[in-house]
Structure 1
């Protein structure tokens, strides 16, 4: 298989999606972490014209691991962008090699694929923008609570409950990969009261989500996610906390 080089930023939830999927599928990749405030001079020309992450370079040979200094893609590499599309690509090349293996977006089950994509569309239009609105602009938290309820409803509707289940069915799929990075950043920002919302509102919201019996399905789900080796290997809590703390240190609403 041609080599796969990923271009990522540790604090970025969209990059975290790609890392989670690569780890879950066991795809050999080399990771290049990009400092978005000081990108390599070659990045815009050779990887992403808009200087965004994540990106994937497909081609050439690689040594799996992490480049201590980001390296440009191999000559002739094909560049892929957009996190959800990259995740689907990783799933597709895995299932092409072993049709029975990929569970991220099961190639042989059209109904499950539909449910996954439906969930992705739904959560992308509800919970994710509600989180960003609360964090960045201090908008009401109602949308976050409604989004978490939607996640819970989906878990239950596809056979899950407090003690078991994932976003769609009994195993980790693209549906989880899409939402989990945002839940991780919700935990970091809310529990540390990081954001533009009034003082104390983040901690209050996170306490509600993690202690109120109304959200017990979410609580069980989030506990299972944090036990996954793929999550533990790809979520740099210290780096994410430091980045968000610095970004919002002078932006708290009065």
Structure 2
């Protein structure tokens, strides 16, 4: 049964579980510093990318609602994730999760110190632009449909709106799966965990944080049940069990506590929540 009473719990300021172990293992100074927050799904996108590509980095936890000056220097809106590139004087900076992911992908594949046989990639090779485009179509579906549908569903307070939100979220999942199936029909099965034996893809990383939170946050606060189907269930198992994903996940209670404010649509929960309430694009 879904939780229906706001207990007033606040968001966490430190990772737990495997994510805490990963953060502690990356506390020493490196040429790249990821400014993140333990509960933020946009941060998790970048964190998974760093882990998967094997790029050296330092993880630095910040409170994005206090917007410390060091974060504002990197991200004008005070949003995480933000990347500080320490090899430059003064350091360069990047923000926006998809921009950072693209940068890290190019950085990893352009590193001449790494053997081309050992470099992981979230994309098919540039020699197959159509395959890369299929991955980007999947990623676009995650960003345009899945992510906003998640927040509209979670923030809905009226029962009818919650039913509507659940339907829209399921439809977004189905649209993403349809794109996975299209790539499979066309013979592209090496990239993407939809196919057993496939590698982690850009689209998997783009969607994962919200699919994962559907299994705990939406289940707890909205009684949501993930779509049935052997293929989809197997995909979810591969996704959440992937080592690069698992290393960035905290324990369930962190997410339940941190997302209670969304579930009861508290005023000024976040810039994302405000955008959903106003019907504006996500920041």
**Normalising by structure 1, what TM-score?**
0.77
**Superposition deviation, residue 111 in structure 1:** 1.8
Q: Does 1:223 align with 2:237?
A: yes
SS of alignment partner, residue 120 of structure 1: helix
Rounded to whole Å, the distance in 1 between the matches of 2:210 and 2:145 is 12
Q: Determine whether 1:125 maps to 2:139.
A: no
C-alpha distance in structure 2 between counterparts of 1:179 and 1:224, whole Å: 13
Quote the residue 2:19 is aligned against: none
Residue 70 of structure 1: aligned partner: none
2:202 is the counterpart of 1:174: yes
- Residue in 1 aligned with 2:74? 47
Secondary structure of the residue aligned to 2:55 is coil
Q: Decide whether aligned partners of structure 1 residues 127 and 249 sit closer, same or farther in structure 2, where only a CA change above 3 A counts.
A: closer
Greater relative contact order structure (CA < 8 Å, 6+ sep): 2
Q: Partner of 1:31: helix, strand, or coil?
A: strand
Aligned residues: 219
SS at 2:259's partner residue? helix
Distance 1:248 1:147, change over 3 A: closer
* SS of alignment partner, residue 33 of structure 2: strand
Does the residue aligned with 2:247 lie in a helix, a strand or coil?
helix
State the match for 1:142 in structure 2. 167
Q: Which moved more, 1:48-57 or 1:234-243?
A: 234-243
Change in CA separation of 1:76 and 1:107 when aligned onto 2, cut-off 3 Å: farther
How far has the Cα of 1:75 moved from its partner?
4.5
Corresponding residue for 1:105? 123
The alignment's C-alpha RMSD in Å is: 2.4
The equivalent residue for 1:240 is 255
Aligned twin of 2:15: none
Distance verdict in 2 for CA 1:13–1:184, change over 3 Å: same
Distance 1:242 1:116, change over 3 A: same
CA contact (8 A) 1:8 1:33 kept: yes
Show structure 2 runs of 5+ residues with no match. Answer: 1-29, 267-283
User: Partners in 2 of 1:167 and 1:5 — Cα distance?
Assistant: 31
Secondary structure of the 2:63 match is coil
Counterpart in 1 of 2:17? Answer: none
Aligned residue for 1:11, secondary structure, equals coil
How far residue 59 of structure 1 moved from its aligned partner, in angstroms, is 2.6
Q: Residues 33-77 of structure 1: CA distance to partner in whole angstroms, max 9, x if unpaired? A: 111233333322x222211111111133xxxxxxxxxxxxx7411
SS at match of 1:126: helix
TM-score (norm 2): 0.70
